[in-house]
Amino acid sequence: MYYYYYFRLFLILPFGLPLSNPAIDASSIQPLPTLKPLPSNIQAKNVQPKLPFIIKPAYEDTSFCAKTDCSHYGSCLSCSFPDNCDYGNLVMVNCTTIHKFCKKLEQTVVKEAVCRYCYQTEENEHECDEVRNCSSSSVQLFPTTCRVRQHVICMGRRQFLKNVRCRWTNGYSWSKTLLLSITLGGFGADRFYLGLWKSAIGKLFSFGGLGIWTLLDILLIGVGYIQPADGSMYI
């Protein structure tokens, strides 16, 4: 292989022979076309990338402020927190009643509040819309709208999106299901009540699996293993 390259160099240096393939005519090679500039009346469009669609929560209903003393409720106040406050510490904030929400004249009050944003409040300090049409046994998180309670004072928007687990109810009672399983479980009444139609029919025609199926269902309903067919939770 090396001898081939040495031989070609030997032909180039003393004799000036070309390295190109003699079978290709140089005149047959066409130059590359040049790109023409766009006309002056046509401008290149600045195409923006598509972003994922996010549903923003609606604004908080502030009609509550017109019916009460605004100085006692965070949803009716506009508060300024210190710039250097540390998260979780109690600070004194200057608050002013929001005139367009409150009937009374504008008031300025000093309140004690925790340095935090509204989305960082505890679960008992905000309430979230119920996520429905999902399985309560799923570990998947679903986005929903949450609102800070009226009395809480916090920074940022008082209504925000939060990922929560599916925990919705549809009126199925655990105690009623257990009672039906004990009294009429041999006829599949418990499974009919929960919407488990296919297994309920099988249980009915097998007379509760000759009693074995009935005893198992009493145990499984008692520990909460058997859930409603629509994926909701017991009340």
pLDDT value at residue 99: 79
* 8-state DSSP, 168: -
Taking the chain (235 residues) in runs of 10, the rounded mean pLDDT of each run is 50 47 54 60 52 48 75 88 90 88 81 92 88 74 89 91 81 89 91 90 88 92 87 77
Quote the Cα angle for 82-79-54, to 5°.
100
DSSP state of 51: P
Q: What is the pLDDT of residue 178?
A: 92
pTM score: 0.53
- The residue among 71, 82, 150 whose CA lies nearest residue 111 is 71
CA atoms within 13 A on the CB side of 40: 0
- The amino acid sitting at 206 is S
What's the confidence (pLDDT) of residue 42? 55
The secondary element (H helix, E strand) that includes residue 90 is: strand 90-97
